Every structure is written in C-alpha cells, then in structure tokens.
C-alpha cells in the first residue's frame, strides 16, 4: 500500500468527524458558487435596465450568502483543526507505544535524536496534511467541477478557452512531483541528523567543556545545520520557480476570456452581467487549480514524513511474545542456562568469531546468590541481558522454574526481575516518582522502608523537599553514590523474585558499600540474585561464583574453593589485593 493510502487508512477511525467536515465543505462550496450569480443579476437586471426595485433584495441576499459562508467556514475550521490535532495526538502516542515494543538492538543502532525527530517533527508535518491537504483537495475539486458546469452553462465557447492552460498545469505538476519528493525526503533526514547531533552534544556537554572542545562541537553542529539548510534551499528553489510559473500560465486563461468575452459583449453575443459573472467564475476555476499545486506540495512533505514514520511502524521487534506464550506464575527463582551461544548481531550469517558467549551452561537454585566475575568483555552483562530476555541466544535455551524464556510472556518475566545497573539511570522528576517506578502502587511506608534498606532515606530527607525533590536530568543533582542507592531502593521496592546487580556498588564509598552489603544480606534472603562485580571483595559470601573469560565459563565454585584452585578467579582476586595494598586511598 502507498504511503498516502496508509495515511488515509489511519483516518478511518475518525469517520464521524470526516462526515461532518465533508458536509460543511459541500455547503461551503455551494455557497461560494452563488455570489457571481447575484452579481450577474445586479448588472443585467438593475444596472442594465436602470431599475432599482430589485437592488435591495439582491444586495440583502448577497449579504446573507456571505454571512452563511463565514458561518460554514467557522464550523469547518474548528472541526477540521480539532480533527487534525486529535489525529496527530493518537498517531504520536501510537508511535511511541510501538517504539517501546522494539528490541534493545534497534535502539543500539538508531540514535535518540533521530527517533525524536520522527516522533515530533515528522508527525507534526502530517498535521498540515490532515487539516489542509485532505480538506482543501476535496473542496477544490468540488469547486472545480461546480465552476466548470456553471461556465459551460453561461457560455460554452468561453469555457473551452478557460480549459486551454489545464494540460500545461497538469504536466507542470507532474514535473514538480518527480523532483521535489526526494528533496523533501532529504530535508526530513537532515533534520533528524540535526536532532541527533544536538541530543548527543547536550548529553555530553560535561565532556565537551571538560576537554575544551566547544569549537569542535560547534563546528560539527554547524555542518549538520548547513546540510539541512542546503536541502531546504534546494526545495525552495524548486517551488519558487514552479508556483509563479503556474500562476502565470493560469492568468493567460483569464486574459483569453477577457479578450474574447469583450468582443462578444460588444457584438451583443453576451450580456455584460454574464461577462462579469463569467470572469468571477474564471477566478473560482483557476484558484482551485493553483491551490491544488500548493496542496500537492503539502502532500509531498506528508509523503516524505509518512515514509519515515512507517519505517518505524514497519520495524519488526526481534524479541516479542510467542503466539502461545504463557504468563509466568510467581517464581521460585530457579535459573538454568542450557548450552547458550550468543552474539549481538544475531541476524548476520552464522559465525562463532563474533559470539560473545560460547556454550554457557550453569544452574542457579532458588534463593541462591551467584556472582559473575571476569575481565571486561568476558560476557557477564550479556548473561544478565539474556536472563531479562532483552536478547535471545542463537543456540541453546534459558529457563526459569523450568519455563523456556521464549515461551513465556515477556512482561510477566520482567515484572519479577529487578535490575540495578552500573550506569544508573534516573528520570528527570522527583525522588518519589523515581522510586515508584519499582512499584507504582506502593504506599508511603513501603517506599520509605525500601529507601532505608538501601541506606538512602537519610540523604533523601536532607534534600530541600525530601522525597518530592526534583533531581534533574539523569539525577544530575545527586552524587554517584546517592544515585546508586536510589536505584537499589527502586529495585528493592519492586520486590523481585530475581535480582540482578550489575556493578551495583561501584559508585559508592567504602562506608556506603559496607552498609549496602549489610542491607543486601536481608534483601536477598529468599530471592535469587545474579551479581556482577569487579570488586571481588563484595562477593566473597556468594553461594556460587562463575568465572568467565572470552565468553566461556572457566570455573565455578565458592570463594574458598576457587582461591584454592589457583585459576582465573584466584589470579583476579590476588591482583586486586595487590592494587589495594599499593593504594592508600583504598
């Protein structure tokens, strides 16, 4: 289906408003065709006969017609623009809802600024299409047909002269379309590039200023802005030549009618009133044609924006519920990885060279605390991501309580898993709202208890408005340790059956780390926990430690057992002890 076809299909739910709009447009079209007839009567029957008896009634009737036109126009403006705004609201919400369904891999390869441009700028471009394009083409076509009938009725020979420029206008419009569509597509893409660059620069403003790279950042933003400017100017060049040319050709038709009509009036072949009315209708005939060329410009912009929007809506989620997926009951917390192989570019040809996990096999009993250790790039975070089913393995399978993750409803799984990441993300809102992300219906006491368990309550109460303090974008008003404890409190409040801690204490000082470890001993009771840690001293009491290297499990055991083996874990542990011993700050 074409882009325009899909856009019109999206308008079908608003059929009631569309019918009302159509009725108002038909009424408006009929009313707009009446004034020249009154003008003909006044010229022929009042001025021509010098009889003022009918003048009052004709003038009153003309005033009444103009008043009705404005009443119908007012109703049309309100209904049409309200419809356009409702359509844009629903489309934007639908687009955002669909974005939330897409897999993490999609967001990893698509910039945030580009997505923002599509959800805002491209959707806004369609508002003009709905409020003006669709309705104007309907009313202009009706005016065109109605005016053509009246012109033929008044004087068919002059009517044929009016039609002479029409083929030229149609050919010109086709020429314009073939060139402007790619231009508008490029304009939308360049605007997305600007948004992407702006988002990237603003998000990294601390780094830009810290390294004194303001001039470099400005230059890169200027380059993107210039590319957008050049694309826009190319479009301006086309329509600044096209529209005046079309208007000139249309005006030639009026000149022909005026010249031939004047001869006919002088020879008595046409009344002066008919000539006046005919000239008015010629304007009414060419106005829709001229405006149709402008509306076509709106359509081309809408097509360019629509293509980009439908590209998103056509994106197929890589991770989604199977048709027969079941909802998980409350979990006990048993986790098993069965010969799992994984790579992030799973859609590419099969190749073990790009795998980040190779033949991973392990089991976590309900309530066990299992730690993942290993050098950077060993595959620790990949295991956590697979357990949350942000991705699927390319071979093997993962089960929780015996359920294959591919056969369960994703939401029922993630509602029973909480994650505390090394790179803590907090929303630009209050402390309270950030905590309630873990459990939106939690009561005040329950929320405070979670904050106390994460040793966050004390610093929260020291904030200007306590739990109602705005913490800024990504929690910029808080220290790293405070952000980490808020994230931990949010996870505790969610009361998960499985808790994943990915370097959860990496940003806190030694005292806070000790307190959080004490709190975690209580929080983790009865829950399965998967802990990723570089500070190996924090996982000494884990029930099981899995050491990974190069995406493979090298050894599994508890702290003492692995130390006694003298393998990878022992090497990592002793290396950290040496670093701590050599650094008084530790």
Between helix 272-313 and helix 156-163 the angle, nearest 10°, is 40
Q: Is residue 331, in this structure, part of any structural domain at all?
A: no
pLDDT of residue 211: 63
CA 160 to chain CA centroid, nearest Å? 50
The region that residue 526 occupies, defined by phi over 0 for left and psi between -120 and 50 for alpha, beta otherwise, is left
Q: For residues 448 and 442, give the distance between their C-alpha atoms in angstroms, rounded to a whole number.
A: 10
pLDDT of residue 338: 94
Helix (H, G, I), strand (E, B) or coil at 454: coil
CATH code, domain carrying 209: 1.20.1560.10
Q: Is residue 295, in this structure, part of any structural domain at all?
A: yes
Domain that holds residue 307: 3-313
Threshold 0.75, pTM exceeds: no
Q: Is residue 31, in this structure, part of any structural domain at all?
A: yes
**Which residue in this structure is represented by tokens 């409803």?**
409
Strands 544-549 and 552-557: antiparallel
Asked if 406 and 323 count as a contact pair (C-beta separation under 8 A), the reply is no
Q: For residues 585 and 510, give the distance between their C-alpha atoms in angstroms, rounded to a whole number.
A: 10
The two most distant CA atoms of the chain are separated, in Å, by 121
Radius of gyration from C-alpha coordinates of the chain:
35
User: Tens digit of pLDDT for each residue in 203-223?
Assistant: 777 667 766 778 888 888 888
Domain count, the chain: 1
Q: How far are the Cα atoms of 261, 381, 480, 501 from residue 422, in angstroms, in the given order? A: 83, 10, 10, 8
Asked if 118 and 312 count as a contact pair (C-beta separation under 8 A), the reply is yes
Calculate what percentage of the chain has a pLDDT beyond 90.
11
Least-confidence region, from 24-28, 64-68, 201-205, 269-273 = 201-205
pLDDT of residue 515: 64
Q: Is residue 354, in this structure, part of any structural domain at all?
A: no
Average pLDDT of 28-53?
78
**Which residue in this structure is represented by tokens 């003309």?**
62
Asked if 148 and 159 count as a contact pair (C-beta separation under 8 A), the reply is yes
Q: How far are the Cα atoms of 121, 302, 386, 389, 548 from residue 354, in angstroms, in the given order? A: 37, 41, 17, 20, 17
Higher pLDDT, 114 or 532: 532
Reading the block at residue 113, the tokens are 């600024």
Which residues are CB-neighbours of 382 under 8 A, at least 6 positions away?
A: 342, 356, 357, 391, 551
| Confidence at 365, pLDDT banded by 50, 70, 90 | very high
φ and ψ at residue 418, rounded to 5 degrees: -120, 145
User: Tens digit of pLDDT for each residue in 290-312?
Assistant: 666 667 767 777 787 888 888 88
Using alpha carbons only, give the angle 276, 279, 282 rounded to the nearest 5 degrees: 150
User: Tens digit of pLDDT for each residue in 406-427?
Assistant: 999 988 998 888 888 777 778 8
Q: Does 584 score more than 50 pLDDT?
A: no
φ and ψ at residue 548, rounded to 5 degrees: -120, 150
φ and ψ at residue 502, rounded to 5 degrees: -100, 95
Q: For residues 557 and 543, give the distance between their C-alpha atoms in angstroms, rounded to a whole number.
A: 8
The whole-chain average pLDDT of the chain stands at: 81
Burial of 575 (0-12, 13-18, 19+ CB in 10 A): exposed
Q: Is residue 145, in this structure, part of any structural domain at all?
A: yes
Reading the block at residue 385, the tokens are 């991501």
| Long-range pairs of 339-342 with CB within 8 A, sequence gap ≥ 24 | 339/395, 339/396, 340/386, 340/393, 340/395, 340/396, 340/397, 340/398, 341/393, 341/394, 341/395, 341/396, 342/379, 342/382, 342/386, 342/391, 342/393, 342/394
Q: Does 246 score more than 80 pLDDT?
A: no
CA 46 to chain CA centroid, nearest Å? 63
User: Tens digit of pLDDT for each residue in 51-67?
Assistant: 777 778 888 888 888 89
For residue 561, give the DSSP letter. Answer: H
Per-residue DSSP letters for 169-185? HHHHHHHHHHHHHHHHH
Q: For residues 432 and 418, give the distance between their C-alpha atoms in angstroms, rounded to a whole number.
A: 18
| Confidence at 329, pLDDT banded by 50, 70, 90 | very high
Asked if 469 and 486 count as a contact pair (C-beta separation under 8 A), the reply is no
Q: Which of 432, 434, 429, 507 is nearest to 471 (CA)?
A: 429
Q: Is residue 127, in this structure, part of any structural domain at all?
A: yes
Which residues are CB-neighbours of 306 under 8 A, at least 6 positions away?
A: 3, 4, 6, 7, 122, 126
Most confident of the following: 228-232, 253-257, 575-579: 228-232
Asked if 380 and 300 count as a contact pair (C-beta separation under 8 A), the reply is no
Which residues are CB-neighbours of 218 under 8 A, at least 6 positions away?
A: none
Q: Does 539 score more than 60 pLDDT?
A: yes
Reading the block at residue 542, the tokens are 């884990």
Helix/strand number for the chain, H first, E second: 22, 10
| Confidence at 134, pLDDT banded by 50, 70, 90 | low
Helix locations, 33-134, DSSP H: 35-41, 55-101, 104-109, 112-117, 123-128
Q: For residues 470 and 423, give the distance between their C-alpha atoms in angstroms, rounded to a whole number.
A: 20
Asked if 234 and 183 count as a contact pair (C-beta separation under 8 A), the reply is yes
**Which residue in this structure is represented by tokens 């219906």?**
441
CA 116 to chain CA centroid, nearest Å? 5
Q: Does 583 score more than 60 pLDDT?
A: no
Element at 554 (helix H, strand E) = strand 552-557
User: Tens digit of pLDDT for each residue in 432-473?
Assistant: 888 888 788 888 888 888 888 877 888 888 888 888 888 877
Q: Is residue 144, in this structure, part of any structural domain at all?
A: yes
Q: Is residue 67, in this structure, part of any structural domain at all?
A: yes
């Amino acid at each position: 289906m074409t882009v325009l076809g899909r856009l019109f299909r999206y308008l079908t739910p608003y059929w009631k408003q569309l019918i009302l709009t159509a009725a108002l447009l038909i009424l408006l079209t009929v009313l707009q065709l009446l004034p020249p007839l009154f003008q003909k009567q006044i010229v022929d029957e009042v001025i021509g006969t010098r009889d003022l008896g009918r003048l009052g009634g004709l003038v009153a009737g003309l005033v009444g017609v103009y008043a009705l036109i404005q009443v119908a126009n007012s109703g049309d403006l309100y209904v049409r623009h309200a419809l356009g705004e409702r359509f844009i609201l629903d489309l934007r919400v639908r687009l955002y809802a669909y974005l939330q369904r897409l897999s993490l891999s999609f967001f990893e390869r698509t910039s945030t600024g580009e997505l923002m441009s599509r959800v805002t700028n491209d959707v806004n471009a369609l508002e003009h299409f709905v409020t003006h394009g669709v309705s104007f083409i309907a009313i202009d076509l009706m005016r065109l047909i109605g005016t053509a009938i009246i012109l033929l009725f008044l004087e068919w020979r002059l009517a044929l002269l009016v039609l002479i420029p029409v083929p030229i206008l149609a050919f010109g419009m086709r020429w314009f379309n073939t060139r402007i569509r790619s231009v508008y597509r490029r304009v939308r893409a360049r605007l997305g590039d600007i948004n992407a660059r702006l988002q990237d620069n603003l998000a990294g403003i601390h780094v830009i200023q810290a390294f004194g790279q303001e001039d470099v950042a400005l230059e890169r933003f200027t380059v993107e802005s210039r590319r957008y400017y050049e694309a826009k100017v190319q479009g301006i060049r086309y329509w600044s030549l096209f529209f005046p040319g079309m208007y000139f050709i249309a005006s030639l038709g009026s000149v022909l009618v005026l010249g031939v009509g004047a001869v006919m009036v002088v020879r008595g072949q046409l009344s002066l009133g008919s000539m006046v009315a005919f000239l008015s209708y010629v304007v009414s005939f060419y106005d829709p044609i001229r405006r149709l060329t402008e509306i076509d410009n709106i359509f081309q912009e809408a097509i360019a924006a629509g293509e980009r929007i439908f590209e998103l809506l056509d994106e197929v989620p890589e991770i989604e519920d199977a048709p027969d997926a079941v909802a998980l009951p409350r979990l006990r917390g048993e986790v098993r990885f069965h010969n799992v192989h994984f790579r992030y570019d799973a859609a590419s040809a099969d190749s073990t060279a790009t795998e980040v996990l190779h033949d991973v096999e392990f089991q976590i009993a309900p309530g066990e605390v299992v730690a993942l250790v290993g050098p950077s790039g060993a595959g620790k975070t990949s295991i956590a991501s697979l357990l949350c089913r942000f991705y699927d393995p390319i071979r093997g399978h993962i089960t929780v309580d015996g359920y294959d993750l591919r056969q369960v409803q994703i939401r029922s799984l993630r509602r029973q898993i909480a994650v505390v990441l090394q790179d803590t993300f907090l929303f630009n809102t209050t402390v309270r709202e950030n905590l309630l992300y873990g459990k939106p219906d939690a009561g005040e006491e329950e929320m405070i208890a979670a904050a106390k368990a994460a040793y966050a309550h004390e610093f929260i109460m020291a904030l200007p408005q306590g739990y109602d303090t705005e913490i800024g974008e990504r929690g910029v008003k808080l220290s790293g340790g405070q952000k980490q404890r808020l994230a931990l409190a949010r996870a505790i409040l969610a009361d998960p059956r499985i808790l994943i801690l990915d370097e959860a204490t990496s940003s806190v000082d030694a005292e806070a780390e000790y307190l959080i470890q004490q709190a975690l001993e209580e929080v983790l009771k009865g829950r399965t926990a998967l802990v990723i840690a570089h500070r190996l001293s924090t996982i000494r009491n884990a029930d099981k430690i899995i050491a990974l290297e190069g995406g493979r499990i090298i050894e599994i055991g508890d702290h003492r057992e692995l130390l006694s083996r003298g393998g990878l874990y022992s090497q990592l542990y002793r290396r950290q002890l040496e670093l701590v011993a050599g650094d008084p700050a530790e």
